A and B are shown apart, each in its own frame.
Chain A
Amino acid sequence: MAHAHKLEIFRGLVKFKSNTQKIWGVLIFLTIVTAIEVVLGIYKPEGLLAKFLGMKILNWIFIILTIVKAYYITWDFMHMRDETKALRRMVVWTAIFLILYLIFILLQEGGYVFDVYKDGFVKRDF
């Protein structure tokens, strides 16, 4: 049947009996993730303010949790899990590649402009 759903999340760790049950399960998961984000955002634990790869660990955690949320919204709410591999890759990889490319270029350029302002309009004195 065309409407058969895959009812496992977390790589088969959690299995649901029906699609409706899976939806509620995913909602609970997304709510927990959002709650963690908000709590971390309000309290900002001291230990997570250290820098890692040029950004605070806390910010990395936020970004990773966001991607996790995006994954479950796309895979379970938008039923990407049930689409063919070809459609899935066509949509997801195209978007991911172009977005990463754009982010890299713009953030790199933003950092460069910051340095130019900061160091008296000279970036590198050869």
Chain B
Amino acid sequence: MSTTVVNTGTEGKTWGGGNKPLNASYGKMMMWFFIVSDALTFSGFLAAYGFSRFKFIDSWPIADEVFTHVPFLHGQELPMIYVAFMTFILIMSSVTMVLAVDAGHHLNKAKVTLYMFLTIIGGLIFVGSQAWEWATFIKGDFGAVQTKGGNILQFVDNEGHRVALRDFVTADAHADRTQHQRKSGLWFVSEGTLPTYTIDEVVHGLESHENVLVRTQTLTEEGEKTVLSRQESLKQIKENGKLVVEGANLQVNEYGSPLFADFFFFITGFHGFHVFSGVVINIIIFFNVILGTYERRKSYEMVEKVGLYWHFVDLVWVFVFTFFYLV
């Protein structure tokens, strides 16, 4: 601050540049304008998600059925509990951030340090949770079959509960083939990880388990997925089944439309990247606080600016939570 010219001799002269209509410092105003442009980027992504969803409005995956896992609680169906926890963590770290800003206004170095530290911890928990969520999503749970037309066929029992491939399909040990890698043939030819089962094994498993039915992507009037009759199930799998899908990547996913996974990776990934950079910036500011940089400056405005960014990340998550998990 001491190096900048504070007094320009134009105070109060409206047309001489001495008037501050916004009553905000340059840095804070620019942070606001950055936030506006970043908000538009995120809206672009979410609106594109909306576009794809409206395009496939009668066959979009149901988010409650996709995100049902909670760490350390295997095999339990707890839709959205973990995402709600993540939301709460982020809101909580927003609160510690705003408390740090408040302590900064009172030039209370000890409190700013503590609250900044808690904010960083909250951010790390959130990023960690997101990594876990990604891993679970990529790994998949039940497995499915993709048809020639690119649709996903899932499996349910008579009561409509999901059935995993591993529960009714047995891999034929003799028919096992190894993944083709570059080193074992032409150097420019390779393939991805092979699914655990082949399509023939799935057909065989379906034939020998009377109570397993096929569920298509199409939504009924009540907003549930269509379950086919036993006869139709066999017909669908035999005639159209092409590929066994386990988990999700950018090309296929066992939950339904591949676009769902693409947007999931893209939007939550971009948000996660924001959280990560927020944590990094927070750490830098945290060390500046400890070193007493702002104490000497007699102004904790840097904390305020990074705080704005951090709250914005929270704000975006509130929207991602609604449009990806709730609606």
Where the two chains meet, the residues of A that have a C-beta atom closer than 8 Å to any C-beta of B are 3, 19-20, 23-24, 27, 30-31, 34-35, 37-38, 41-42, 49, 59, 62-63, 65-66, 69-70, 73-74, 76-79, 83-84, 86-87, 90-91, 94-95, 98-99, 102-103, 106-107, 109-111, 113-114, 117-118
Q: Which of A23, A38, A91, A95 contacts B99 (CB 8 A)?
A: A23
**With A and B bound together, what is the CA distance between A79 and B101 in angstroms?**
10
CB neighbours of B29 from chain A (8 A):
87
**With A and B bound together, what is the CA distance between A28 and B270 in angstroms?**
28
CB <8 Å contact, A74 and B327? no
CB <8 Å contact, B55 and A110? yes
Given A37-B322, A110-B52, 10 new contacts (CB under 8 A): A34-B84, A41-B80, A49-B223, A62-B322, A73-B314, A78-B312, A87-B29, A102-B43, A106-B48, A110-B51
Q: Which of B39, B53, B80 contacts A95 (CB 8 A)?
A: B39
CB neighbours of A65 from chain B (8 A):
322
CB <8 Å contact, B47 and A102? yes
CB <8 Å contact, A73 and B318? yes
CB neighbours of A114 from chain B (8 A):
54-58
CB <8 Å contact, A95 and B36? yes
CB <8 Å contact, B39 and A70? no
CB neighbours of B312 from chain A (8 A):
78
CB <8 Å contact, B79 and A73? no
CB <8 Å contact, A23 and B102? yes
Residue of A nearest to B43 (CB): A99
CB <8 Å contact, A42 and B64? yes
Q: Which of B33, B54, B87, B314 contacts A107 (CB 8 A)?
A: B54
State whether A41 and B91 are in contact (beta carbons under 8 Å apart), knowing that A66-B319, A87-B22, A107-B54 are contacts in the complex: no
**With A and B bound together, what is the CA distance between A72 and B28 in angstroms?**
19
State whether A34 and B91 are in contact (beta carbons under 8 Å apart), knowing that A20-B99, A107-B50 are contacts in the complex: yes
Q: What is the minimal beta-carbon distance from A78 to any residue of chain B, in angstroms?
A: 5
Closest 9 CB pairs of A and B: A110-B54, A110-B51, A106-B51, A66-B322, A106-B47, A38-B84, A99-B43, A87-B22, A3-B105
B24, CB-defined interface residue at 8 Å:
yes
**With A and B bound together, what is the CA distance between A77 and B101 in angstroms?**
10
Q: What is the minimal beta-carbon distance from A110 to any residue of chain B, in angstroms?
A: 3
The dominant DSSP class at the A interface is helix
**With A and B bound together, what is the CA distance between A66 and B50 in angstroms?**
16
CB neighbours of A20 from chain B (8 A):
99, 102
Residue of B nearest to A56 (CB): B223
CB <8 Å contact, A78 and B318? no
Residue of B nearest to A37 (CB): B326
Q: Which of A86, A95, A109, A111 contacts B21 (CB 8 A)?
A: A86
**With A and B bound together, what is the CA distance between A63 and B327 in angstroms?**
8
Q: Which of A66, A83, A102 contacts B44 (CB 8 A)?
A: A102
B306, CB-defined interface residue at 8 Å:
no
**With A and B bound together, what is the CA distance between A117 and B326 in angstroms?**
26
> What are 18 A-to-B residue pairs whose CB atoms are below 8 Å?
A23-B99, A34-B91, A37-B322, A59-B326, A70-B319, A74-B311, A77-B311, A86-B22, A87-B24, A91-B32, A91-B33, A91-B35, A95-B43, A106-B48, A107-B50, A107-B51, A113-B54, A114-B54
Q: What is the minimal beta-carbon distance from B184 to any residue of chain A, in angstroms?
A: 43
CB neighbours of B102 from chain A (8 A):
19-20, 23
Q: What is the minimal beta-carbon distance from B137 to any residue of chain A, in angstroms?
A: 18
Q: What is the minimal beta-carbon distance from A51 to any residue of chain B, in angstroms?
A: 11
CB <8 Å contact, A23 and B98? yes
CB neighbours of B57 from chain A (8 A):
110-111, 114
**With A and B bound together, what is the CA distance between A116 and B223 in angstroms?**
21
**With A and B bound together, what is the CA distance between A81 and B186 in angstroms?**
65
Q: What is the minimal beta-carbon distance from A81 to any residue of chain B, in angstroms?
A: 12
CB neighbours of B280 from chain A (8 A):
none
**With A and B bound together, what is the CA distance between A109 and B40 in angstroms?**
19
CB neighbours of A62 from chain B (8 A):
322, 326-327
Q: What is the minimal beta-carbon distance from A114 to any residue of chain B, in angstroms?
A: 5
**With A and B bound together, what is the CA distance between A79 and B31 in angstroms?**
13
- Scoring B33, B91, B105, B319 by chain A CB atoms within 10 A of each residue's CB, the highest score goes to B91
